Chains A and B, each alone.
Chain A
Amino acid sequence: MILAKTGNEALAYAMRQINPDVVAAYPITPSTEIVQIFAQYVSDGKVDSEFVAVESEHSAMAACIGSAASGCRTMTATASQGLMLMHEMLFIAGGLRLPIVMPIASRSVSSPLNIHGDHSDSLASRDSGWLQFFCETVQEGYDTLIQCVKIAERTSLPAICAVDGFILSHCMERIETFEDKPVREFIGPYKPNWNLLDIKKPILVGPATMQDYFFEFKRSQIEGMNQALPIIEEVQAEFKQKFGRGYGIIDEYRCEDAEAVVLLMGSACGTMRDAVDTMRNQGKKVGMVKLRVFRPLPHQVLKESLAKFKTVAVMDRADTVNAWGGALFTEISSALYDSPTRPKMLSYVYGLGGKEFSLTDAATVLEQAYAGKKEDLVTYIGVR
């Protein structure tokens, strides 16, 4: 069915179709509507979910962990300060390998206070052991959230599905939704690895581990993330087969004979596609690489894609406050360091606090990438 939906509405709609056992959530701009609309579905009896209205995001994630540990398919939604308040709990969900699925309307992190879209919140959670997907459009957000349930459960890893705050969460788009039945068939019934409440098979969850076992458990968790990429590809292929729409780990746009490419994540990819078209019309060989999966970072995929270009400009919608470039830039540079051919790497930070990222900005980055040089190691786009 073709519907006009904002990002939040589309994500809530997908959650209704997923029909999770438990949703524990707390409202925060710009993801409030996801929870609000879902709560309405609960009140209207359109889902079977138990909705837990908690007193904070820390409690929301704590409740989700308890629920998931009890073998329930569990979801929540948040953004920005809410994700910050969950931070401690994110690591626990990751370490316990609980496949909680969480849409995020990515937003800046205070201070100063700002409610608009950038990737500071999700990127600050990068080491918490959650899968992270960044979506370009509302359609992709809807599709990805449905995929996330299957990916999370198959990898035993929690998953974040991020759409850019306001830019996607509040903008209405024409989206193609699926019927409920095929969505439920696609995700299938949830078979948890273990269940804390199974009295026939008692287990201990969340033990204290000391010097002799903590590192070994962490190593095992890291391996779970290391093994996630083929599972993501598998689920993406199943999704494409069932619904006819597909996504890759990365998306190369007009990269065939490109000399320089720009790599970025999220809604700004749409702007960049347009700027690439304009440059191509001028005969300049430029392209765009969209990174859709940030965790696990697809090192090998990135290496194979990027090593062939002369220049790669990496654009971060979050800053690391003097790690010399954003998280994407440092991670991708590091992934490419030992490849036989190494492109010149340029670092850009853009769009913090929802700062407009215009076609002119996109063209500036592309021109500099095409020229293969710029003055500063890190360039802040659009800052006065």
Chain B
Amino acid sequence: MANGECGGDMAKLKSWKELPCGAIIEDPKAVLENKTGAWRSQRPCWNAEKCIHCLNCWIFCPDAAVMVKDGKVTGINYDYCKGCGICAQVCPTKVQAITMEEERK
């Protein structure tokens, strides 16, 4: 809602009088509307065969872009992943299930 990178219909935008004090977002799910994947210069590549599902990447991902189902990693959500590489860093050294690759390769 507050992030207008995608523009949007100006007619639906709120006036300043309707905004919450302190620019807080009362519905945190609003971030779902802003797909930030295009910011990425590096892409995390997840290898399902190597993954031990320790969930380090899920815990540390600052954008909740690691997808998990029933306690197991199912992949990376590239709509939101900004390519920070933290998931690859925290993936245990012996496992190396996530590697960073150039986005435009």
Contacts and interface: CB of A to CB of B under 8 A. Distances in A.
Interface of A: 95-98, 156, 193-194, 202-213, 215-217, 219-221, 223-224
Contact of B4 (A96, A206, A211, A224): A211
A69 B100 CA distance: 35
Given A209-B2, A220-B19, 16 more contacts: A96-B23, A97-B21, A97-B23, A204-B28, A204-B31, A205-B24, A205-B25, A207-B23, A209-B3, A210-B4, A213-B1, A216-B15, A217-B23, A219-B16, A220-B16, A224-B21
Nearest to B7: A212
Interface string B1-19: 1111101101001111101
A220 B18 CA distance: 9
Contacts of B25: 203-205, 207
B30 interface: yes
Interface of B: 1-5, 7-8, 10, 13-17, 19, 21-26, 28, 30-31
Contacts of A217: 2, 16, 19, 23
A215 B19 CA distance: 11
Nearest to A219: B16
19 contacts: A96-B22, A97-B23, A193-B22, A204-B30, A205-B22, A205-B24, A206-B23, A207-B3, A208-B3, A209-B2, A209-B23, A210-B3, A212-B7, A213-B1, A213-B19, A216-B16, A219-B16, A220-B23, A221-B23
A220 B30 CA distance: 20
A216 B16 CA distance: 4
Given A95-B22, A97-B21, A212 B10 contact: yes
**Most interface-central of B1, B2, B7, B8 (chain A CB within 10 A):** B2
Nearest 5 A/B pairs, CB to CB: A212-B4, A97-B22, A204-B25, A210-B4, A219-B16
Contacts of A193: 21-22
B28 A212 contact: no
A77 B81 CA distance: 40
B27 to A, nearest CB: 8
A212 B8 contact: yes
A224 B14 CA distance: 18
Contact of B22 (A156, A208, A209, A215): A156
A95 B23 contact: yes
A223 B17 CA distance: 9
Query: Which of A95, A208, A223 has the most B CB atoms < 10 Å from its CB?
Result: A208
B105 to A, nearest CB: 28
B21 A207 contact: no
A51 to B, nearest CB: 25
Nearest to B4: A212
A213 B2 contact: yes
